Amino acid sequence: MSGFELDELTPPTSVGDPSWADFVASVAVRNACEVGAYATPELAMSAEELLPHWLDPREPRRWWVARAGGEVVARGLLEWQLDDDERVAWVTLQVDPAHWRLGIGRAIADVVEDAAREHGFSRMLTYAPSADAPGEQLVPPTGAGGVPRSAREVRFLLARGWRLEQVARASRFPLPADRADLDRRRDAATEAAGGYRVHTWAGPTPERWLADLAHLRTRMSTEEPSAGLEPPEDRWDAQRVREHDDHMAQAPLQILTAVVEHIASGGLAGFTQLSVPHEPTQPVTQYDTLVLPEHRGHRLGMLLKVANLLALEDRSPGHPSVLTWNAEENRPMLDVNEAVGFVRIGAEGAWRKDL
């Protein structure tokens, strides 16, 4: 490992923690990799935006950085769920492109994979964006989408025994939206959704919806198309929703939520969320969207998506775009996105390695 060194660090819990400077530097590595893969600066995020995702005590993690000349040039993450009986780990491996081909990726991958084995995990999952390129495509077993077989990260993962299970499409919705078009789509979807009612809010979840949103978030982990990744169920309850809302409130962003209520039962049939940075020059990120299977066929996906985009324009105008990721085999959601105006900007491979 000549020319660089690896350190395992304690993840920060607040701005200004002893590891905060290294966290900021590792986020810069993340940004260099994401911006390079998708060829747009909109993929860059601040450390303050990302910190809340590290604060859930039910999702512990270990964190390593590689330094060259005292500078953080790579990061590795091992993350898992405390209540997971299947022992699945999520892995992140990122090296600043300026420091490729120095053996840093191999070294940090060895450390993270060794730690996964020490913890007794049965399999690892990772997500790696791949820039579009001509030539042969590696197609997952789903048959939907592909990544360039010649891409550096593809060759790296294949050589280490990972297998591609799924491809997610990254899409961009330019803002400001065509308000008249969104209004027309909302009205048409509302007409098709008799027996349902939409609610939207910004920030923490209202008390009346905590249990229902916890149910939806749990179902999201099992209903979202996952191909051969087989992620474990991610169990949520009302208290975890409260805690998550508290964590997100510490970041320089606001969560916009739209839910659809099944009027007859009074329960929620679906939800969608947007992460809206306080800084208007930053793009908005689409978080989860789900309509429960028993309520599909009423254009609720379109209704939810449009309702939240309208709420975004009302509450926080001025952002350049909304970014979202969807499995290429998830044609119903891609149909909604394409109809609204989302345009593909790249692909992300979802990989699995059994231990």
Per the structure block, which two tokens stand in for 171? Answer: 């899409």
Structure tokens at 248: 């997100």
Average pLDDT over residues 121-148: 97
Band the pLDDT of 85: cuts 50, 70, 90.
Answer: confident
Which residue type is seen at 259? Answer: V
Measure the CA–CA gap between 30 and 77, rounded to whole angstroms: 11
Q: What pLDDT does residue 86 have?
A: 87
The answer on pLDDT for 107 being more than 50 is yes
Q: What is the mean pLDDT of residues 242-251?
A: 94
The dihedral through the CA atoms of 89, 76, 149, 221 has a sign that is positive
CA distance 286 to 205: 17
pLDDT band at 132 (very low <50, low <70, confident <90, very high): very high
What are the residues whose beta carbons fall under 8 Å from the beta carbon of 266, sequence distance 6 or more? none
Spatial neighbors of 343 by CB under 8 A, at least 6 apart, are: 171, 172, 173, 174
Residue 126 tokens, joined: 């990772």
Domains 5-168 and 176-319 share a fold: yes
Structural Rg of the chain based on CA atoms: 20
CATH superfamily of 5-168: Gcn5-related N-acetyltransferase (GNAT) (3.40.630.30)
Is 286 within 8 Å of 234 (Cβ atoms)? no
Distance between CA atoms of residues 32 and 74, nearest Å:
10
CB 312 within 8 Å of CB 304: no
User: Can you tell me the mean pLDDT for 267-283?
Assistant: 97
Predicted pLDDT at 2 = 61
pTM for the full predicted model: 0.95
Residues 64, 7: contact at Cβ < 8 Å?
yes
| Single-letter amino acid code for the residue at 195 | G
SS3 track for 70-111 = CEEEEEEEEEECCCCCCCEEEEEEEECHHHCCCCHHHHHHHH
Would the pLDDT of 7 be above 90?
yes
Check pLDDT > 60 for residue 1.
no
Q: Provide the residue ranges of all domains of the chain, joining segments of one domain with +.
A: 5-168, 176-319
- Per DSSP, 320 falls in state -
Query: 26-63 pLDDT, tens per residue?
Result: 999 999 999 999 999 999 999 999 999 999 999 999 99
Residues 333-345 have a mean pLDDT of 97
Enclosing H/E stretch for 349 = strand 343-354
Pairing of strands 196-202, 253-262: antiparallel
Q: Which fold has domain 176-319?
A: Aminopeptidase (3.40.630)
* DSSP class per residue in 212-265: HHHHHHHHHHHHS--TT--PPP----HHHHHHHHHHHHTSSEEEEEEEEEETTT
Residue 300 corresponds to which amino acid? L
Question: What per-residue string of b and e applies to 253-287 under the rule 16 or more CB within 10 Å gives b?
Answer: bbbbbbbbbbeeeeebbbbbbbbbbeeeebbbbbe
Query: Mean per-residue pLDDT for 230-246?
Result: 96
- H helices of the chain, in order, are 20-38, 47-50, 104-118, 152-159, 179-192, 210-223, 238-249, 300-315, 331-340
Tokens of 204: 């923490």
